[in-house]
A and B are shown apart, each in its own frame.
Chain A
């Protein structure tokens, strides 16, 4: 058995793990927040002010982009578990989508 090529999964796995960690702690309460009972915190000026703060912007970017890397990673491996599609194609679609969302949300957060 000769040694094989180095995988690039350390990169995607780290993003997956960061997204999974963030989602484990924050997604359930975030999902509860806009259920109608608690509206005051979601006033336009307030959320806009949060976004205008550099730290707030960073948090929002992370909250959007990292869970998408998490989802892309699990979807890619889930599809290969289900023997669906060619690996290269599903790889490009899953991680490509996460990459595009990262770019677009980064643009909205920092430059729009």
Chain B
């Protein structure tokens, strides 16, 4: 099974390259090698200047996202044996500005994550703000699937709507927003509604669904966003007939206690 494999890496060195270009490397192949291992081999044996991000090697830190043959993947969770003996093309995550080689500028993504208020918000009249709040398994199950995000950005590289219009809040941020809206301990839905209701909130999504396919943690952002559309429609009608927004995570409380 041992042989060699050709890996093409997209290079971009801002101080000398006018635009990105492809460089091929012939590597020693072993079936247990991940794409991240291949990048290490290139750095160790061919070009110590190759720039790429990585940390945990076990699909939890979310640093090593890149395009493998045009598909957003984690380098540590993608194995050469699934491509061998074909050559593999590695590029930086799509839709983000390239900083250098495989490193992209994630600032816009990180700003959006922070902007959806991804933390428990309690109402001002909360009389016992610091007491523990128990949840039933059913209440936990409502948001747990949306709480597995590792902020790797693969879903943004998968989302053509974000690529076409980067004002769109995008999959991970809106899924995170949905996660807090569905948490029975949270009362901050009204504060998050303006983000959802905007043209660049849930309405920027056309349900391509690729975000959910590429997510390495099994989060389903497409489901989260489109459930968010129903929340937004209800809020639209409430607004039309002059009702204030539903302040509590209303359906969370109802359904959880049922």
Chain A residues within CB distance 8 Å of chain B: 1, 3-7, 9-11, 13-14, 77, 80-81, 83
Q: Mark B219-239, 1 if CB is under 8 A from A, else 0.
A: 000000000010011011101
What CA separation (Å) do A4 and B194 show in the bound complex? 7
A1 near B111 with CB under 8 A, answer yes
Give the shortest distance, in Å, between B184 (CB) and chain A (any CB): 25
B206 near A6 with CB under 8 A, answer no
Q: Give chain B's interface residue range (CB within 8 Å of chain A).
A: 20 to 34
Task: Give the chain B neighbours of A7 by CB distance below 8 A.
Answer: 197-199, 201, 203, 232
What does DSSP make chain B's interface, helix, strand, loop or mixed?
Answer: helix
A6 near B194 with CB under 8 A, answer yes
What CA separation (Å) do A10 and B203 show in the bound complex? 8
New contact pairs (12) apart from A6-B239, A10-B203, A10-B235, CB-CB < 8 Å: A3-B194, A3-B195, A3-B198, A4-B201, A6-B198, A7-B198, A7-B199, A7-B201, A9-B199, A9-B203, A13-B233, A80-B164
A4 near B198 with CB under 8 A, answer yes
B197 near A83 with CB under 8 A, answer no
What CA separation (Å) do A4 and B202 show in the bound complex? 12
Q: Mark B178-219, 1 if CB is under 8 A from A, else 0.
A: 000000000000000011011111010010000000000000
Closest residue on chain A to residue B237 by CB atoms: A10
Chain B residues within CB distance 8 Å of chain A: 111-112, 115, 160-161, 164, 194-195, 197-201, 203, 206, 229, 232-233, 235-237, 239
Say whether, besides A1-B115, A6-B194, A7-B199, A81 and B229 are in contact (CB < 8 Å): no
What CA separation (Å) do A11 and B198 show in the bound complex? 13
B206 near A4 with CB under 8 A, answer no
Q: Most B CB atoms within 10 A — which of A6, A77, A81, A83?
A: A6
A4 near B164 with CB under 8 A, answer no
What CA separation (Å) do A6 and B200 show in the bound complex? 10
B164 near A10 with CB under 8 A, answer no
Task: Give the chain A neighbours of B198 by CB distance below 8 A.
Answer: 3-7
Give the shortest distance, in Å, between B144 (CB) and chain A (any CB): 27
Give the shortest distance, in Å, between A44 (CB) and chain B (any CB): 41
Closest residue on chain B to residue A4 by CB atoms: B198
A6 near B112 with CB under 8 A, answer no
Say whether, besides A4-B198, A6-B197, A81 and B164 are in contact (CB < 8 Å): yes
Say whether, besides A80-B164, A81-B160, A4 and B200 are in contact (CB < 8 Å): yes
A1 near B112 with CB under 8 A, answer yes
